[in-house]
């Protein structure tokens, strides 16, 4: 009976693999186990009495208001042709050199990641816009597909990322729990803004690694990344395409980093700015605005339903003694904190094959987070490590979500095998970043400490 919490977790994973809705699977499976536990006398129904308080806390959580606002901002920018203009401008700037079109895709993907924060939207948009251009220019299908998939996943780590918003809220609660258990009378806090700042250096390093890889490939295999025949443009035309999204992103991130706005307030500024930008470009009308708001509502409802389902799951999991079981397991591991963190990273990586980042953030992190933080792990470093880890799992064959997104929009001339081969070098680059973060945590913690 002491392993019922693990059976609950395995049952949820199995049902999710069979395709059942995430939110209802989490809550329904947990309630079935809870009822069975009450009837068997091994579960205290009093744990469920905390559920209304948890749901009310979710509704009353101002940090989570940033989620629908950032989703709205990304949806508006997606419909305002910002990506098309950026790609055209960057391609004309870099396209004349070998590998230049690939570098343009990485740069535009960086801006899209900072604008939308949604992996699926970025991969699909870049796949539709840039893959045909890269193939027409003579790029190797595997290199083109790998570049687009890897660039699309930058939304996991480049702020303002929805992943970081959710992780920041979860880790903030977990950090306070861990300190209270250690009888810290004046507990420290972390915020979503801390994670945004902590992600800047690792995110820029990863973008630099992508660009360096494309330059090396263009030198070693010139036929795989030839120059394009697009006419170059002047600086004024480049700024015309680059300035609006760059200004919007700078205002959103700059206000957070300067401490003049919370992430929620900055998200509101970003949504309004994106709407004004779309209207200025003539890309927004009432019908398109209605579709945008409806899509935002659907995605937001999905996120918060999963959050409520995860709250039910975590209560039942704790009621069966799951947290104590995991804590005892970590304490028996040789190597202490390092081994425990490595086990958690491996678990999250493997779960990334079958679960979306939302489920992992809401289900796994609340379970393992307080334990690791109680062992002395830095919360900002842990958040960035989890974000990069999830980004890597999005790319890893055969179940990486980014691969499925690109496969859905790629032409038949690009085989699934080519997509798989193309992402392997980028997976190695992301693992390199994870190793660098492991040995030099200051990559994630230095800038937040300086700006505090």
φ, ψ of residue 285 to 5 degrees: the values are -130, 180
Query: For the stretch 148-166, what's the b/e string if a residue is b when 16 or more beta carbons lie within 10 angstroms of its beta carbon?
Result: bbbbbbbbbbbbbbbbbbb
| CB 192 within 8 Å of CB 63 | yes
HSE, side-chain direction, 13 A CA sphere, residue 412: 0
Give the pLDDT confidence of 117-147 residue by residue, as tens digits: 666 667 877 787 788 888 888 889 999 999 9
- Of 195, 193, 153, nearest in space to 427 by CA: 153
Q: What is the pLDDT of residue 155?
A: 81
> How many angstroms separate the CA atoms of 331 and 339, rounded?
10
**pLDDT tens across 276-322, in order?**
888 887 878 888 889 889 988 888 888 888 888 888 888 888 888 88
CB 144 within 8 A of CB 423: no
HEC sequence for the chain = CCCHHHHHHHHHHHHHHCCCCHHHHHHHHHHHHHHHHHHCCCCCHHHHHHHHHHHHHHHCCHHHHHHHHHHHHHHHHHCCCHHHHHHHHHHHHHCCCCCHHHHHHHHHHHHHHHHHCCHHHHHHHHHHHCHHHHHHCCCCHHHHHHHHHHHHHHHHCCCCCHHHHHHHHHHHHHHHHHHHHCCCCCCCCCCHHHHHHHHHHHHHHHHHHHHHHHHHHHHHCHHHCCCCCCCCCCHHHHHHHHHHHHHHHHHHHHHHHCCCCCHHHHHHHHHHHHHHHHHHCCCCCHHHHHHHHHHHHHHHHHHHHHHHHHHHHHHHHHHCCHHHHHHHHHHHCCCCHHHHHHHHHHHHHHHCCCCCHHHHHHHHHHHHHHHHHHCCCCHHHHHHHHHHHHHHHHHCCCCCHHHHHHHHHCCCCCCHHHHHHHHHHHHHHHHHHHHHHHHCCHHHHHHHHHHC
What residues in the chain have per-residue pLDDT under 50? none
Average pLDDT of every residue of the chain: 83
Q: What is the pLDDT of residue 204?
A: 92
List, for residues 34-73, the tens digit of each pLDDT value.
Answer: 999 888 888 888 888 888 887 888 788 787 888 888 888 8
What's the pLDDT score for residue 430?
93
Task: Say what the pLDDT of residue 146 is.
Answer: 92
Count of residues making up the chain: 452
- HSE-up of 143 (CA within 13 Å, CB side)? 25
Dihedral sign for Cα atoms in the order 129, 130, 135, 140: negative
Say what the pLDDT of residue 109 is: 82
Q: What is the CA radius of gyration of the chain?
A: 22
Provide the CB-side half-sphere exposure for 442 (13 A, CA). Answer: 3
What pLDDT shows up at residue 371? 84
pLDDT at 50 (0 to 100): 83
Residue 251 pLDDT: 85
- Residues ≥6 apart with Cβ < 8 Å to 310: 26, 359, 362, 363, 366
CB 369 within 8 A of CB 382: yes
Tokens of 101: 């079109």
Report how far residue 373's alpha carbon sits from residue 35's, in angstroms, rounded to the nearest whole number: 32
Residue showing tokens 């920041």: 168
The domain segmentation of the chain, as residue ranges, is: 4-451
Instruction: Tell me the whole-structure pTM to 2 decimals.
Output: 0.83
Distance, CA of 216 to chain centre:
28
Say how many C-beta atoms besides its own lie within 10 A of residue 195's C-beta: 30
Give the number of C-alpha atoms closer than 13 A to the C-alpha of residue 12, restricted to the C-beta side: 31
pLDDT of residue 443: 93
Closest CA relative to residue 256, chosen from 243, 270, 242: 270
Which pLDDT score is estimated for 172? Answer: 87
Tokens of 434: 């994870």
The per-residue pLDDT for 118 is: 64
In this prediction, residue 436 carries a pLDDT of 95
């Amino acid at each position: 009976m002491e392993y019922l919490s693990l059976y609950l977790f395995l049952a949820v994973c199995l049902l999710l693999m069979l395709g059942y809705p995430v939110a209802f699977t989490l809550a329904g499976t947990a309630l079935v186990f809870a009822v069975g536990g009450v009837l068997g006398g091994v579960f205290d129904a009093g744990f469920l009495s905390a559920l209304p308080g948890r749901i009310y806390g979710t509704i009353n959580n101002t940090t989570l208001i940033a989620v629908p606002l950032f989703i709205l901002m990304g949806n508006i920018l997606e419909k305002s042709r910002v990506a098309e203009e950026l790609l055209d401008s960057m391609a004309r700037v870099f396209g004349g050199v070998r590998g230049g079109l690939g570098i343009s895709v990485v740069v535009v993907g960086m801006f899209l990641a900072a604008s939308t924060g949604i992996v699926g939207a970025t991969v699909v948009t870049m796949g539709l816009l840039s893959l045909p251009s890269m193939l027409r220019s003579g790029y190797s299908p595997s290199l083109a597909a790998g570049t687009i998939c890897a660039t699309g996943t930058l939304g996991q780590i480049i702020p303002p990322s929805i992943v970081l918003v959710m992780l920041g809220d979860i880790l903030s609660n977990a950090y306070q729990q861990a300190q209270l258990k250690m009888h810290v009378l004046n507990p420290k806090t972390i915020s979503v803004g801390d994670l945004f700042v902590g992600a800047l250096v690792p995110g820029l390093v990863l973008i630099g690694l992508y660009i360096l890889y494309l330059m090396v490939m263009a030198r070693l295999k010139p036929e795989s990344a030839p120059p394009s025949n697009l006419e170059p443009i002047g600086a004024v035309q480049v700024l015309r395409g680059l300035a609006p999204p760059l200004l919007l992103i700078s205002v959103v991130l700059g206000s957070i980093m300067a401490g003049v706005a919370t992430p929620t307030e900055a998200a509101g500024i970003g949504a309004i700015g994106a709407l004004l930008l779309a209207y200025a470009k003539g890309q927004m009308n009432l019908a398109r605005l209605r579709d945008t708001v409806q899509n935002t509502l659907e995605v937001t409802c999905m996120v918060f339903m999963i959050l409520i389902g995860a709250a039910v799951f975590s209560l039942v999991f704790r009621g069966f003694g799951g947290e104590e079981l995991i804590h005892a397991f970590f304490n028996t591991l040789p190597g202490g904190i390092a081994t425990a963190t490595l086990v958690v990273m491996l678990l999250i990586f493997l779960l990334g094959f079958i679960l979306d980042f939302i489920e992992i953030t809401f289900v796994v992190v609340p379970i393992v987070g307080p334990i690791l933080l109680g062992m002395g792990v830095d919360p900002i470093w842990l958040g960035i490590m989890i974000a990069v880890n999830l980004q890597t799992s999005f790319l890893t064959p055969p179940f990486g979500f980014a691969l499925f997104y690109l496969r859905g929009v790629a032409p038949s001339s690009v085989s699934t095998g080519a997509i798989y081969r193309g992402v392997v070098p980028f997976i190695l680059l992301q693992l390199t970043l994870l190793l660098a973060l492991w040995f030099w945590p200051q990559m994630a913690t230095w800038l937040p400490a300086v700006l505090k």
